[in-house]
Structure 1
Amino acid sequence: MSVFISVVSHGHGELIKQLSCLATLAKKFTVVVKLNLEERTLIPYLEQNRIQYIDEQYGIGFGHNNNVVYSYCKKTLDMNEHDFFIVFNPDLISDLQQIDKLVHYMSKNEVKMASVNLFKDEKFILPDNSIRNFPSLSQFIKSFVGLGNSAIIDKGTVTNPIQVDWAAGSFLAFKASHYSLLKGFDEGYFMYCEDIDICYRSSLLGEPIIFHPEIKMQHLAEHANRSIFSKHFYWHVSSVIRFLMTKVKLTNSKSSID
């Protein structure tokens, strides 16, 4: 059983070198960095620290990038169905022990998909709102106009591993066979909601994601501009529409089968 960690870098080279987290993880696990634009100064660092990298197919979406890494791990690095595939943001900080604990739990309890407890600070005081209930259209609208988000789950009330609807794509761990069964991320999403979508599709298969409050990592999240004139706003709205339409379609399809 091996662990493969997928990291997408979109100009994150200096941050990756500064944090040195991936270099630490690569001492025990197979780390693969997918470059989404040309970063020639990062490549020597990756090679020096025995970090695998894919330097092609620039400008594709988040989910598509991770699917490319998954395919590379299977075809080139001999990842098999018993291994674990972890989607890991370049702005996360974790040590080896946290990954070990998660993989041990998933293996022991036959968990197919899991996430961990993300915080905005190194002392693990400021929580990242990284676990939520599946959103409705009204919740999306309220969130867009600044009226809060009732889909957010208060992590402070969670003390043991529990099932949740979805967790942020900043960190998602999969049994490799389950990622394959899901056919990876839906590449129709360029950015935003692909994490909701894959968690929703997994739940329909009877495999909800398991959140682990005791496994903690720091997330140096910088949220992109979402003004109505930004491309991020467009990506977000189009992804919301796609998810809501897909949710209805998949739910109806499952109901007809049942």
Structure 2
Amino acid sequence: MNVYISVVSHGHSSLINQLSCLPELAKRYKVIVKSNKLGDSFCGLNNNSNFHWIDKSYGLGFGHNNNIVFNFCRSTLGMNQSDYFIVLNPDVFIESNEIDLLIKKMIESNSKLAAINLYKDYDGIIHDYSIRKFPSLMQFAKSFLGLGNSSLIDKSVISAPCKVDWAAGSFLGFVVSHYAALNGFDENYFMYCEDIDICYRSHLLGEKVTYFPQIRAVHLTKHANRKLFSKHFYWHVISAIRFLLSKFGLTQLNSSCN
């Protein structure tokens, strides 16, 4: 059983080098970085046989990039159905012992899709509210208008592993066979909501996300500009509409990782 870690870089190599997380992870696991634009340069990784860099096919969406990594792992690195595929943001710092614990807990609980406890600070005080309920049209609208988000789940009251609707794509752990059964991420989402979508499709297959609160990492998130009429706001609205349509069976989902 092997662990493959997929990281998509949108020119994030300076941050990756600064965090020094991936060189440590690559001592134990296969780490694959997919660059989505020119200009990346990595320190402490290029001479590591566990590190692989896909530096081509730029300007793709989050889900599409991760699907490329997944297919590369299967076709080139020999990833098996019983292995584990982890989607990791370049701005997440996690230690290898936390990855080990996650895999152990996933095996013990027979979980095929998992999320962990992300914080916004190294002291573990400020929660990153990365686990949520599936959103409704009204919840999307209120969130866009800055009127709060009732789909958020309060992590501070959770002390034991539990099932949740969806978790942010900043960290998601999959059994390889399950990611394949889901056909990976829907590449019709360019940015935003692709994590909601893949968790929803997993839910439809009877496999909800297992949230492990005792497994911790730091997410140094910086949200992109989502002001009205910005490109990020446009992408978010389009993705929200697509998810709501797919939720009610009004659009056909993409199949990209057979």
| Superposition misfits of 4+ residues, deviation over 3 angstroms | none
Instruction: Give the AA of the match of 1:48.
Output: N
Aligned residues: 250
Paired residue type of 2:14: E
Report the Cα distance in structure 2 between the residues aligned to 1:38 and 1:68, rounded to whole angstroms: 17
Counterpart in the other structure of 1:71 = 71
Report the secondary structure of 2:218's partner residue: strand
Q: CA deviation at 1:39?
A: 2.2
CA distance in 2, matches of 1:163, 1:87: 19
Partners in 2 of 1:235 and 1:250 — Cα distance?
19
Q: Which has the higher helix share?
A: 1
Name structure 1 gaps, 5 residues minimum: 252-258
Which deviates the most, 168-177 or 106-115?
A: 106-115
Structural RMSD (CA): 1.2
**TM-score with structure 2 setting the length:** 0.95
Pairwise mapping of residues 36-47 of structure 1 onto structure 2 (< 5 A)?
36-42=36-42, 45-47=44-46
Note if contact 1:46-1:53 (Cα within 8 Å) is conserved in structure 2: no
Q: SS of the counterpart of 2:5?
A: strand
Tell me how far apart the structure 2 counterparts of residues 248 and 150 of structure 1 sit (CA, whole Å): 21
Alignment of 1:160-199 (within 5 A): 160-199=160-199
State the SS of the aligned residue for 2:46: helix
- Tell me the CA shift for residue 38 of structure 1: 1.1
| Distance of 2:250 and 2:96 partners within structure 1 | 37
Residues 204 and 49 (structure 1), Cα distance of their counterparts in 2 relative to 1, 3 Å cut: same
Provide the rounded CA distance (Å) in 2 between the counterparts of 1:3 and 1:250. Answer: 36
Q: How much has 1:46 moved relative to structure 2? A: 3.2
Against the structure 1 CA distance between its residues 40 and 194, is the aligned structure 2 distance closer, same or farther, given a 3 Å change threshold? closer
Partner residue in 1 for 2:209? 209
Alpha carbons of structure 1 residues 87 and 250: separation in structure 2 relative to 1, 3 Å: farther
1:11-30 matched pairs, under 5 angstroms = 11-30=11-30
Distance of 1:154 and 1:136 partners within structure 2: 18
TM-score, normalised on structure 1? 0.95
Shift of 1:40: 4.7
**Aligned-partner Cα distance in 1 for 2:55–2:128:** 31
